[in-house]
Amino acid sequence: MAVVHRTTMQPGKTELLAAWLPTRPWYAGGAGGPRPVGAGGFRLDDPEGEVGIEFMVVTDGTGPDAVAYQVPLTYRPAPLADAGHALVGTAEHGVLGKRWIYDGLHDPVLVERLHALLDGRAEPQDRNATDTPDPTVAVSPLAPGGAGTGAEPVRVEEGPDHTDVVVREPGAPAPLTLRVRRVLRTDDGPDGGTENGPADGDRGRVTGAWRRPDGTTARGTYITALTV
């Protein structure tokens, strides 16, 4: 179980993301550069208690043109080997000391826990409280065919508004794609699936809510598990 400390980080998460977001292929841009504001998300617990795992949602901009981004992050007490390309930055945590912060889709601990969430072996946690499930995050678990055990990351592929993490489940006949929406929308559009029904090849789905800049709440798909 991860303990949520009420303390500070220097630099802060949104400050790090303001420099990192423009380097991403799915960043939508905007006048004056990004000014990300925390808008939601959830945590997952690392059973070993070593790695912090957060699916952070930030909004950038105001009014109807504001964009919501999902940024899965991991927080580590030491550098992750061979992951310099995925480093978002480092920060000083008020309790835990120096933390190395990574784009979590390149971190095998987050990938395994994300598969566990979709496989019914993990529960979404509140970002701001210890040992507190987040009831706003809904999980439609993997359809029959999942192995019920950990998945091995194979590769990461960037899309125009998403990132695909391809994993191999032990004993499964084909790889599974975990499609993480980077640009969040209330309607997933023509490539398939809403909360009311799955798309072809859709084996599981995570949906959640985030705050718009005007204070209203939006809801849409965070992650989809696909067999393609």
- Per-residue pLDDT, 79: 96
Q: Determine if residue 85 is left, alpha or beta; phi over 0 gives left, psi from -120 to 50 gives alpha, anything else beta.
A: alpha
The stretches of the chain forming alpha helices (DSSP H) are: 13-20, 108-118
Q: What are the residue ranges spanned by the domains of the chain? A: 9-226
100-109 core/surface letters (b: 16 or more CB in 10 A; e: else): bbbbbbbbbb
Mention every residue, 6+ apart, whose C-beta is less than 8 A from residue 29: 22
Rounded to an integer, what distance in angstroms lies between the CA atom of residue 222 and that of residue 209?
Answer: 9
- Per-residue pLDDT, 137: 97
| CB distance 31 to 186 below 8 Å | no
Q: Determine if residue 84 is left, alpha or beta; phi over 0 gives left, psi from -120 to 50 gives alpha, anything else beta.
A: alpha
Would the CA dihedral through 24, 27, 31, 34 be positive or negative?
negative
- Per-residue pLDDT, 210: 97
The tens place of each residue's pLDDT in the chain, 228 residues long, gives 566 656 677 899 999 999 999 999 999 886 677 999 999 999 999 999 999 999 999 999 988 889 999 999 999 999 999 999 999 999 997 777 799 999 999 999 999 999 999 998 999 999 888 789 999 999 998 855 444 567 888 999 999 999 999 999 887 888 899 999 999 998 644 444 444 444 556 789 999 999 999 999 999 999 999 987
Token pair in block for residue 217: 């709440």
190 CB-contact burial (10 Å; exposed 0-12 / middle 13-18 / buried 19+): exposed
Rounded to an integer, what distance in angstroms lies between the CA atom of residue 46 and that of residue 193?
Answer: 29
- Per-residue pLDDT, 145: 46
Rounded to an integer, what distance in angstroms lies between the CA atom of residue 61 and that of residue 35?
Answer: 7
For the question of whether the overall pTM of this predicted structure is more than 0.85, the answer is yes
